[in-house]
Amino acid sequence: MQQKTKPRSNQVRSETTQATLIAAARRVFVEKSYAAAATPDIVVAAGVTRGALYHHFADKRALFAAVVEAEAAAVAATIEAATPAGLPPLQALVQGGEAFLDAMAVPGRTRLLLLDGPAILGRAAMDAVDERHGGRTLHEGLTAAMEAGVIRRLPVAAVTTLLSAAFDRAALAIEVGGDADEYYEALAALIHGLVLK
């Protein structure tokens, strides 16, 4: 038995409450989708009250944004861990791509980052999230490959966006039972198609 309420500093109190809320919200958002996830459900899952939720987050949407941000950070961390620096540009692209697909296989991630995220927060906000986290990988990889003269010189931003979209859709397709190998092959073909002959 521990003491009833061991005194905690306000900082850790806030941090743990927010973390618990974000974790619980993630579960409910994933299980029921953003629209169907009710704040009463979330706070019960977190073991707090709605008062705590609205004290720490402006509204349900802000809580969702925090969940998305954390999820994107987790994806980025996974990718970085899987792609050592110093690889040849082209291989870094393909390998990073596979790491991305692996990371997106974690249950709920496609729903959070690829379906509800864009709809609730907007494509622009999601782009900003990507930019803060993993998106850089692809962008820098393509830029490096172009400057190294490995692939065609093209508008980098546009190509990044389009390839990113292709990876996203591949993650979605694989999740619903699509043959992962076929998507790997198709993605590799798209990337290698950019290689200067």
Residues that bind a copy of itself (CB under 8 A): 33-35, 114-116, 118-120, 122-124, 152, 154-155, 157-159, 161-166, 168-170, 172-173, 176, 178-179, 182-183, 185-187, 189-190, 192-195, 197
What, of DNA, a copy of itself, none, does residue 40 touch, CB below 5 to 8 Å by kind? Answer: DNA
Q: Does 33 bind DNA (CB under 7 A)?
A: no
Any contact of residue 41 with DNA (CB under 7 A)? yes
Using CB under 7 A as the binding rule, whether residue 155 contacts DNA is answered as no
The contacts found for 124-132 with CB under 8 angstroms, 24 or more apart, are 125/65, 126/68, 129/68, 129/69, 129/72, 130/72, 130/164, 132/69, 132/72
Whether the Cβ atoms of residue 53 and residue 42 lie closer than 8 Å to each other: yes
Least distance (Å) from DNA to the CB of residue 90? Answer: 46
| Span interacting with DNA, options 36-44, 69-77, 105-113, 121-129, rule CB under 7 A | 36-44
Buried b (16+ CB within 10 A) or exposed e, 72-101: beebbebbbeebeeeeebbebbbbbbbbbb
User: Under a CB-based contact definition with an 8 Å cutoff, are residues 156 and 87 in contact?
Assistant: no
CA 145 vs. chain centroid, Å, equals 24
Residue 18 or 96 with smaller CB distance to a copy of itself: 96
Interface with DNA: number of residues (CB under 7 A): 26
Is residue 19 at the binding interface for DNA, with CB under 7 A as the rule? Answer: no
